[in-house]
């Protein structure tokens, strides 16, 4: 019997491969950063071939590190940066343009035109989403409209669209399988979350041929087998979920009302709302959480465009630190932010404000402000954004939240987690394995091939590493919340 599951975690700044054993423990990890392209202000791109080559290289590294081969791997699970849009030629198998990343804002003006046509409610009712440049639909249209000959090739059925999951499966199966899962499909602004099908009205609205679209499958089933030379033997590809849905599953947020936040490049707060797609009244997104067998679960989501990437910006843009790991020590060297508030709207503000044109704001700087205060304010800004979304979720649910499960790279920052608990006034719970995005994909793949018997067997593996208990709300916390609310108003371009 194969002893391992291989999870591919293809993120916004790096590709990773993680090998898990039957106990859900990490046996090996390989990670490789890849190039970020910023051709114009507000534009963000990746090279799809570099995404694939980096993923292929970490697969090889992760399996060779523990001296295993394809026969030892029961299945592959894939989790990915969502919304990032790749269009490729079916004959040459080459992308016709760079991947347009979820953070990219180039279609903001077109989105404004759609809103002006009174389409907001129609799009929300069908997709659970707001009209925004964040999602894949307008990115596909931009590629078809701006790459010479693209639209003609698309009309002839020669082009394929995929988010990164589809692209990796296409490459792993050498063009045999063109599919996605319900979670990634639900982030395109082209998918009806009630019927679980591509929506002809929305495809027509954006002038996207249906022939480009991948087949939509569940999150846990065998989609096909690897055909690449990375593995000497065929390995089933058996789990797919967008990164945030995968983290929700990996965190075992299985009951309505359970909530997690993933602190990655962006931050993504997701709340399980059960088997009915409740539409938010507080500017949150409704999305498919997962589909296993014929059972579908839904979630409310609040997206934060700039989370951990604010630390990258302090490192690369301002040279405040040499490595991201230094941020906690620098921020801890001062007792608080010294009245400095940093709204990290470096690529606009997402939930619950949805201001595509907002830009980063730092207020409260005095002669006594140091780089440590700005570092502290940057971390605080991540927690404040999460607080805003949690407040909106509590309003939609009509009940207070009871705890927040956390994962992702920045969840290892104790200073940030304690401040988060203090702001929310509820415990913040960090699991022993914070790689829950990859773990969720591994679980979904393992369930499909019988590596784990059922969800109950998996549930017993989830363990708490640390709980951050909140301090009672005091004048300092109240003042901080008021200062943040004021800074947000200064940042917004629509009042």
Annotated binding residues for ADP, as ranges?
12, 16, 265, 308, 409, 413
DSSP 495: -
CA distance linking residue 454 with residue 216, whole number of Å:
23
Answer whether 358's CB lies under 8 Å from 495's CB. no
Answer whether 265's CB lies under 8 Å from 11's CB. yes
Residues in the chain: 495
Burial 290-323, CB ≥16 within 10 A → b, else e: bbbeeebbbbbbbbbbbbbbbbbbbbeeeebbee
Gyration radius of the chain's alpha carbons: 22
Binding residues for sn-glycerol 3-phosphate: 12, 82-83, 134, 243
Among candidate residues 169, 211, 213, 166, the one with its CA nearest the CA of residue 189: 213
Binding residues for glycerol: 82-83, 134, 243-244
Distances in whole angstroms, Cα of residue 132 to Cα of each of 7, 110, 150, 285, 309: 30, 9, 23, 11, 21
Strands 179-181 and 215-217 come out as parallel
Binding residues for ATP: 12-14, 265, 308, 312, 409
Binding residues: 12-14, 16, 82-83, 134, 243-244, 265, 308, 312, 409, 413
Answer whether 290's CB lies under 8 Å from 480's CB. no
Cα torsion 407, 409, 410, 415 to 10°: value is 90
CA distance linking residue 12 with residue 164, whole number of Å:
10
Q: What angle do helix axes 108-116 and 136-146 make, rounded to 10 degrees?
A: 110
Tokens, residue 102: 């979820």
């Amino acid at each position: 019997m194969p002893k391992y599951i291989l999870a591919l975690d293809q993120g916004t700044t790096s590709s990773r491969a993680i090998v898990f054993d039957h106990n859900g423990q990490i046996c090996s990890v390989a990670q490789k950063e890849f190039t970020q392209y910023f051709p114009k202000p507000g534009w963000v791109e990746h090279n799809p071939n570099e995404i694939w080559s980096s993923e292929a290289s970490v697969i090889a590294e992760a399996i060779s590190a523990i001296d295993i081969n394809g026969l030892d791997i029961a299945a592959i699970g894939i989790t990915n940066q969502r919304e990032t849009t790749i269009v490729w030629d079916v004959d040459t198998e080459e992308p016709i343009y760079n991947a347009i990343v979820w953070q990219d804002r180039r279609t903001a003006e077109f989105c404004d035109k759609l809103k002006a046509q009174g389409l907001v409610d129609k799009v929300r009712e069908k997709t659970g989403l707001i009209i925004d440049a964040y999602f894949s639909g307008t990115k596909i249209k931009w590629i078809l409209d701006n790459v010479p000959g693209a639209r003609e090739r698309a009309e002839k059925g020669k082009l394929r669209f995929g988010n990164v999951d589809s692209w990796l499966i296409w490459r792993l199966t050498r063009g045999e399988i063109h599919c996605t899962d319900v979670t990634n499909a639900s982030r395109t602004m082209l998918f009806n979350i009630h019927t679980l099908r591509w929506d002809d009205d929305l495809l027509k609205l954006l002038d996207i041929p249906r022939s480009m679209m991948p087949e939509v499958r569940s999150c846990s089933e065998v989609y096909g087998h690897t055909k690449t030379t990375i593995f000497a033997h065929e390995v089933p590809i058996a789990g797919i979920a967008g990164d945030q849905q995968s983290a929700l599953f990996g965190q075992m947020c299985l009951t309505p009302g359970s909530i997690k936040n993933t602190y990655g490049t962006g931050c993504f707060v997701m709340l399980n709302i059960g088997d009915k797609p409740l539409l938010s009244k507080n500017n949150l997104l409704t999305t498919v959480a997962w589909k296993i067998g014929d059972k579908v679960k839904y979630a409310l989501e609040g997206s934060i465009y700039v989370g951990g990437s604010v630390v990258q910006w302090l490192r690369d843009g301002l040279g405040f630190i040499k490595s991201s790991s230094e941020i906690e020590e620098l921020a801890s060297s001062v007792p608080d932010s010294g009245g400095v508030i940093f709204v990290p709207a470096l690529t606009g503000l997402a939930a619950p404000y949805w201001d595509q044109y907002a830009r980063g704001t730092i207020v409260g700087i005095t002669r006594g402000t140091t780089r440590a205060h700005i570092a502290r304010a940057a971390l605080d800004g991540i927690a404040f954004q999460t607080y805003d979304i949690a407040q909106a979720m509590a309003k939609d649910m009509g009940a207070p939240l009871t705890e927040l499960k956390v994962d992702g790279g920045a969840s290892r920052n104790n200073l940030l987690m304690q401040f988060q608990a203090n702001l929310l006034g509820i415990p913040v719970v960090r699991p022993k394995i914070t790689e829950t995005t990859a773990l969720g994909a591994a679980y979904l793949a393992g369930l499909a091939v019988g590596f784990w018997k059922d969800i109950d067997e998996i549930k017993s593996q989830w363990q708490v590493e640390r709980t951050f208990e909140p301090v009672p709300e005091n004048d300092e916390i109240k003042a901080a919340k008021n200062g943040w609310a004021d800074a947000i108003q200064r940042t917004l371009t629509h009042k």
